[in-house]
């Protein structure tokens, strides 16, 4: 912080999705000195980002309300808010609201209300503004950071936080031939594209994780009664979240495994022991989650990349389970023999009049099948900053203000989120939260990790590292 008496400390957050809005709320709540907060976000609505922009009531958060309170020291906070505000927002709170999985649009509204409350509580010390524009370039100096915006303005602040979320990759070469075809939903949250498929008889769903659950729930809510063929490369299929007790702390009191292979062996042995004891394997991710950060940090880049290549699909399907209420739509479709799933790889999509011809490779050979609709649920998240065309990202890299993380996931930073420049300098006034830190802390994009951490703002030094230990 500057020492001149009249200087008010200022922090600009670039990106006003969940992570950026949460950062503002934490800063407002923690401020004891005068503080000016600015969020630069091109969307009109702060706090929603991709995840909470959906208006469909069947798109739920993927865990119970009691793990998504914005106040870790008050786990019932979200449940109380839901009890008081759910009905007015079109959602009837169930009896056990703490165990319920509310719609994501409602979670977005909760975050907005918390921001409004934070601004009101801190009004005597803090100012807050949202500038609706995109950041295009940034330069840091020893005691300030300057960002230029697409609207031509420039802002200076003592500190800046990058909360840019994740970037989207374009369509793959296999899908490009059907880009714009009315039977192809390239984005599983594109309501208009799903509406067009509602009267069809058969749909191919590419991908079998949480986006697939959203897509099937959306189609069922539209009255679709045809079939779904779900394919995924490894044949993994997302499971419904059960209320399991955490498994025993099997990673405690031993040196943490340093290789993906040794971790996998330990987890497999533990899973066998759990099955033998007749307990629920869903307690296992709860026991592993607090160790994700130390495991990730201990591993070499070679082992981290081995994890992303060979174990990521298993981890994702184990850790990221779906809300039981949406999963019921999947189970119903399976029960009615309308949904099947198998391991297969997409080779090509081609237009076939109103329908689409999909060529896929299964374990038994190549098949060519036509469908009334195709929904792409692979996510297409692009974590490698070198490969995105985003002008702000390219400008940050070209200026050397940040450097790509050595794993290719996001950018390099200290464990408390302070960014590291191309020449290895640790910025004292430039930090990041969420997706940009995937290479530094694997689960940095989840609600619980973002909520648990204190980022590297100098005016708000963290008690923990950026991603405090959490269990979800
Ligand atoms: C469909 C979906 C469902 C999910 N559900 C869950 C869940 O149930 N539980 C969970 O833990 N996690 C969930 N997630 C993970 C999710 O990524 C996080 O919860 C969280 O939304 C990430 O927030 P973020 O702020 O990092 O990214 P986002 O919310 O995407 O926000 C990034 C923001 O930055 C803005 N931006 C980018 N570049 C610029 C620029 N140059 N200038 C100005 N603004 C810019 C964008 O407009 C955007 O609004 C889900 C993710 C998705 C996609």
Q: For residue 322, give the nearest of 167, 18, 471, 104 by alpha carbon.
A: 104
Report the range of poorest mean pLDDT among 32-36, 207-211, 380-384.
380-384
Ligand 1, atom 26, residue with closest C-alpha: 165
The confidence band for 459, taking pLDDT boundaries of 50, 70 and 90, is low
Say yes or no to pLDDT of 1 above 80. no
- Let me know whether 38 and 137 are in one domain: yes
Does residue 22 sit in the same domain as residue 111?
yes
Residue 140: pLDDT over 60:
yes
Predicted pLDDT of residue 457: 55
**269 and 158, same domain (yes or no):** no
pLDDT in tens, 150-180: 999 999 999 999 999 999 888 888 999 999 9
Q: Which residue of 12, 15, 393 sits with most ligand 1 atoms within 8 Å of its CB, as the best mutation to test the pocket?
A: 15
What is the C-alpha to C-alpha distance for residues 220 and 75, in angstroms, rounded to an integer?
A: 33
What are the start-end ranges of the H helices in 277-413?
A: 283-288, 292-298, 301-306, 312-319, 324-335, 391-398
Same domain, 109 and 162: yes
**154-156-159 Cα angle (round to 5):** 135
Strands 426-432 and 159-162: parallel
Q: For residue range 186-212, what is the model confidence (pLDDT) as tens digits?
A: 999 999 999 999 999 999 999 999 999
CB distance 316 to 234 below 8 Å: no
Residue 212 included in any domain:
yes
163 lines ligand 1 (CB under 6 A): yes
Last residue of a domain, one of 379, 398, 423: 379
Residue found by looking up tokens 């923690």 in the block: 30
pLDDT of residue 468: 32
- Indicate left, alpha or beta for 451 from its phi (over 0: left) and psi (-120 to 50: alpha): alpha
Give, in order, the Cα–Cα distances in Å from 285 to each of 242, 316, 472: 12, 10, 8
- At 67-109, the pLDDT tens digits run 999 998 999 999 999 999 999 999 999 999 999 999 999 999 9
In a domain, 74, yes or no: no
Q: How many CA atoms lie within 13 A of 278 on its CB side?
A: 0
Asked which of 159-168, 363-372, 437-446 is least confident by mean pLDDT, the reply is 437-446
| Closest atom, ligand 1, to C-alpha of 390 | 41
What is the total count of domains within the chain?
Answer: 3
Cβ(164) – ligand 1 distance below 6 Å: yes
Mark whether 308 and 329 lie in a shared domain: no
Answer yes or no: is pLDDT of 465 > 60: no
**pTM for the model:** 0.91
Residue 452: predicted pLDDT: 65
- The reported pLDDT for the residue numbered 472 is 28
- Closest CA to ligand 1's atom 20: 18
| 41 inside domain | yes
Cβ neighbours, 10 Å, residue 339 = 21
Among 273, 290, 319, the domain-final residue is 319
Residues 270 and 140 in one domain: no
In a domain, 253, yes or no: no
Do 145 and 196 have their domain in common?
no
The reported pLDDT for the residue numbered 193 is 97
Q: Say yes or no: 220 and 308 in one domain.
A: no
**Per-residue model confidence (pLDDT) at position 56:** 94
The per-residue pLDDT for 471 is 27
Please indicate, yes or no, if residue 79 is contained in any of the structural domains.
Answer: no
Q: For residue 469, what pLDDT band results from cuts at 50, 70 and 90?
A: very low
Q: What token pair was written down for 394?
A: 């390219």
- Residue ID of nearest Cα to ligand 1 atom 51: 51
Within a domain: residue 77?
A: no
Q: Has residue 71 been placed in a domain?
A: no
Q: Which CATH number do you get for residue 232? A: 3.50.50.60
Q: How far is the CA of 260 from the centre of ligand 1 (A)?
A: 28
pLDDT of amino acid 2: 54
Question: What is the percent of the chain with per-residue pLDDT over 90, rounded to a whole number?
Answer: 79
Using a 6 Å cutoff on CB, does residue 19 contact ligand 1?
A: yes
Kindly state whether residues 309 and 327 are assigned to the same domain.
no
Question: Given ligand 1 and candidates 164, 169, 187, 217, which is best to mutate, with the most ligand atoms within 8 Å of its CB?
Answer: 164
Does residue 137 share a domain with residue 188? no
Domain edge (last residue) among 379, 395, 421? 379
What range does the domain containing 148 cover? Answer: 9-59+103-168+382-452
Q: Same structural domain for residues 45 and 150?
A: yes
Tokens of residue 15, six digits? 């990106």
Give domain status of residue 268, yes or no: yes
Are 345 and 300 members of one domain?
no
Residue 421 has pLDDT above 80, yes or no: yes
Centre of ligand 1 to C-alpha 61, Å, is: 13
Quick one: what percent of the chain has pLDDT higher than 70? 94
Q: Give the chain's mean pLDDT.
A: 91
Confidence of residue 287 (pLDDT cuts 50, 70, 90): very high
Looking at per-residue confidence, does 445 or 393 come out higher?
393
Average pLDDT over residues 46-50: 78
């Amino acid at each position: 912080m500057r020492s001149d008496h009249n200087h008010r400390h200022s922090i600009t957050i670039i990106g006003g999705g969940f992570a950026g809005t949460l950062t503002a709320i934490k800063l407002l709540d923690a401020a004891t000195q005068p503080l000016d907060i600015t969020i630069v976000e091109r969307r009109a609505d702060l706090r929603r980002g991709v995840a909470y922009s959906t208006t469909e009531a069947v798109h739920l958060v993927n865990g119970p309300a009691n793990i998504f309170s914005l106040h870790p020291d008050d786990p019932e906070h979200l449940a109380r808010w839901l009890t008081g505000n759910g009905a007015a927002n079109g959602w009837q709170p169930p009896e056990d609201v703490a165990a319920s999985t509310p719609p994501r649009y409602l979670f977005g509204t909760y975050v907005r209300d918390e921001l409004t409350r934070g601004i009101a509580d801190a009004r005597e010390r803090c100012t807050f503004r949202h500038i609706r524009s995109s950041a295009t370039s940034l330069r840091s100096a020893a005691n300030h950071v300057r960002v230029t915006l697409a609207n031509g303005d420039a802002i200076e602040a003592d500190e800046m936080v990058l909360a840019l979320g994740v970037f989207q990759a374009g369509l793959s070469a296999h899908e490009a031939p059907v880009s714009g075809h009315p039977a192809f939903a390239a984005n599983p949250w594109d309501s208009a594209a799903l509406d067009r498929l509602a009267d069809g008889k058969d749909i191919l769903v590419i991908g079998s994780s949480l986006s697939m659950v959203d897509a099937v729930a959306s189609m069922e809510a539209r009255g679709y009664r045809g079939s779904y063929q779900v394919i995924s490369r490894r044949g993994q299929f997302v499971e419904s979240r059960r209320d399991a007790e955490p498994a025993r702390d099997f990673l405690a009191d031993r040196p943490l495994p340093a290789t993906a292979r040794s971790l996998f062996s330990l987890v497999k042995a533990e899973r066998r022991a759990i099955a033998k004891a007749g307990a629920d394997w869903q307690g296992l991710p709860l026991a592993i989650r607090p160790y994700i950060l130390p495991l990730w940090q201990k591993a070499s880049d070679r082992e981290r990349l081995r994890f992303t290549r060979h174990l990521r699909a298993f981890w994702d399907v184990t850790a990221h389970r779906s809300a039981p209420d949406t999963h019921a739509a999947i189970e119903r479709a399976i029960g009615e023999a309308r949904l099947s799933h198998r391991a297969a790889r997409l080779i090509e999509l081609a237009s076939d009049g109103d329908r689409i011809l999909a060529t896929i490779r299964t374990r038994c050979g190549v098949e060519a099948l036509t469908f009334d609709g195709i929904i792409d649920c692979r996510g297409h998240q692009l974590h490698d900053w070198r490969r995105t065309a985003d002008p702000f990202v390219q400008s940050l890299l070209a200026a050397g203000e940040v450097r790509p993380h050595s794993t290719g996931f996001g950018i390099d930073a200290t464990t408390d989120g302070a960014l590291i420049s191309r020449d290895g300098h640790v910025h004292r006034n430039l930090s990041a939260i969420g997706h940009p830190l995937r290479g530094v802390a694997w689960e940095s994009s989840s609600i619980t990790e973002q909520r648990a951490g204190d980022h590297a703002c100098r005016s708000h030094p963290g008690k923990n590292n950026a991603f405090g230990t959490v269990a979800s």
